[in-house]
A = this chain, B = another copy of it.
């Protein structure tokens, strides 16, 4: 894997020690995750904090940082001849460890002797980690809030090395999105296009950072089904990002007409979303609360939907009341880095929120992963969308909700409109935000042109 220079890992651990002052920190590496039996496991993914502090991208490793003695220990085992027969030879652990500035390598069996009550560790998100923490400490896992905050404080600000990795992830992902649009053709299945996306991933020796959303049912926020055949009039929403070898990932979305030509209504909705994106990008910068961007985007969406006729009434009031959540049920974006929702496992309330922002429990705002003020070198997604969800229309209407803001009759006629999202990735700079990578087109006409190139011969 692509690693940062040795000094980077030492410095990261040093800063963490400085922050905590005293104690011991246990970092659990990930193990293989079984699929339908133990030896048939999913593609390995290392834990992101383990990658951040230790840079070693293989299973069966753990590490301890002894803060008081400024010492780092790696626990793992070199391959046996059986391992070499089955999975090949590998560089020995001592050599790998020294490249990330760790001098002490101990066998896995020694981990037990180095565990102690009161050790700091991060919250488990795999069943494996939960099991092991229970076994190690004979109690329910209790993550260290102090460690959580210290890690977030480091990982939230990307170094030049990290920015370059994100740039690359976005660059490759832009190739993937372009290729998918160019290969789109009526009569193909959604899964055919997922196949194209995967091919681009493998060409770049990357993997998809998450199961892509590639669907004619864009109103379903996180669907991973790909069985529909592309028909005249369909919109295709593709939310997909590649993860480069260092673990950094991109998260881009484009929505395009399967036929290469938006209908007038589709174009109107599309342009509304594009305007909301533009608005947020223009407002974004250091000191600006992401929640304000979210609400500003929401207002732009409401303005657009009023012009379309789906909404009515006072824009400001509509957003305050939450009427926009009929169409924009999720948040405007999130942090991006080694995780596509960066550090989500550490707790969104810590990663994305800081006083005066507290996470809402209201439908809509409760899905906003990031609210706090942006700072230089934060990396984020901005991803407004309009999603027409028939079941939600029925529910809100039956409850008599938002009657003064929603034109239910007009909307009813378009209940199967689908969904549109446009999503780009940014780094916060000194005075605004910068889009990563070569810009993937956002304008409706550019998108139509890409699809019309139709390179794919069926």
Contact = CB atoms under 8 A, between A and B. Distances in A.
A128 B35 CA distance: 11
Nearest to A89: B391
B195 A85 contact: no
A195 B192 contact: no
A252 B128 CA distance: 31
A340 interface: yes
Contacts of A194: 202
A85 B198 contact: no
Nearest to A243: B36
A125 to B, nearest CB: 5
B189 A205 contact: yes
A419 to B, nearest CB: 11
A48 to B, nearest CB: 5
A217 interface: yes
A98 interface: no
Given A39-B344, A131-B131, A203 B199 contact: no
Contact of A202 (B46, B191, B222): B191
A127 B42 CA distance: 14
Interface string A112-154: 0000000000000111101100000000000000000000000
B203 A195 contact: yes
Contact of A43 (B192, B211, B340): B211
A392 interface: yes
Contacts of A306: none
A384 B121 CA distance: 47
Interface string A196-238: 1011111101000111000001001111111100000000000
A202 B210 contact: no
Nearest to A31: B127
A202 B226 contact: yes
A350 to B, nearest CB: 13
B127 A128 contact: yes
Contacts of A354: none
A45 interface: yes
A220 B341 contact: no
A52 to B, nearest CB: 12
Interface string A19-38: 00000000000100111111
A40 B81 contact: no
A89 B268 CA distance: 27
A108 B389 CA distance: 27
A206 to B, nearest CB: 9
A391 B127 CA distance: 36
Contacts of A42: 33, 35, 42-43, 211
Tell which of A48, A85, A209, A217 has the most Cβ of chain B within 10 Å.
A85
Contacts of A34: 33, 125-127
A87 interface: yes
Contacts of A341: 37, 39-40
Given A194-B202, A203-B191, A220-B87, A344 B81 contact: no
A341 B222 CA distance: 32
Given A40-B210, A88-B223, A126 B127 contact: yes
A169 to B, nearest CB: 14
A107 to B, nearest CB: 20
Interface string A357-382: 00000010000000000000000000
A47 interface: yes
A47 B36 CA distance: 6
B227 A205 contact: yes
Contacts of A40: 209-210, 339-341, 344
A345 interface: yes
A19 B107 CA distance: 46
B192 A203 contact: yes
Given A34-B125, A86-B222, 16 more contacts: A33-B126, A34-B126, A35-B210, A38-B125, A38-B345, A40-B341, A42-B211, A84-B392, A85-B387, A87-B220, A88-B225, A127-B131, A131-B131, A194-B202, A198-B198, A205-B226
7 contacts: A33-B35, A35-B45, A39-B344, A40-B340, A195-B203, A198-B202, A199-B199
User: Which are the 6 A-B pairs with shortest beta-carbon distances?
Assistant: A195-B202, A127-B127, A195-B199, A88-B220, A37-B345, A198-B198
